Amino acid sequence: MITVPALHRTIYETADYVINDDPPIVFQIGVSHQGLALLLASFNAQTACLIASSNPLGRILIEDENLDRRMQLLSKIEHARLNYFVAQIENAAHGWAQDSYLIFDLAAEDASRWAREFDQFAWIDIPPNGCARVIWSN
């Protein structure tokens, strides 16, 4: 079982999540976002999730190690033949930024498993209404 430190809970819950679209889509947890809902609809997706692979359990790695982890996650996404966007998690107040992927129609069980495989404290669930929520790893 993963114990999530209070600081990391705060970082996830107060971060800006940025989808690299044109224009970028910036959303927060618990706030409905029409652009995010439209993005899901444009891909005819029932759900989306945002998963990171860098900095396992909050431990800062060197960029080469994080790049390797991101490529491993990207390989899983492409192997599953899922649509995705590159994204970032940014929390300026806590000096935190992390690359991630917005992945369409990945089952919640798989999203949880992938987040655990990459030692992430959480992943972000995005339903069709565009109101994101944090799913804590267990």
Predicted TM-score of the model (pTM): 0.95
Let me know: does 49 contact 118? Beta carbons within 8 Å.
Answer: no
DSSP H helices, 15-118, are 34-42, 63-79, 108-117
Q: What is the pLDDT of residues 51-91, one digit of tens each?
A: 999 999 988 899 999 999 999 999 999 999 999 999 999 99
DSSP state of 56: G
Which residues have a Cβ under 8 Å from the Cβ of 93 and sit 6 or more positions away?
A: 14
pLDDT, one tens digit per residue, over 90-115 is 999 999 899 999 999 999 999 999 99
| pLDDT for position 138 | 79
User: In angstroms, what CA-CA distances link 83 with 10, 106, 121?
Assistant: 29, 9, 23
Instruction: State how far the Cα of 133 lies from the Cα of 125, in Å rounded to an integer.
Output: 5
* Number of Cβ within a 10 Å radius of residue 32: 12
pLDDT tier for residue 3 given thresholds of 50, 70 and 90: confident
106-131 burial, b at 16+ Cβ within 10 Å, e below that, comes to beeeebbebbeebbbbbbbbbeeebb
**pLDDT value at 14 more than 90:** yes
The percent of residues above 90 in pLDDT, for the chain, comes to 90
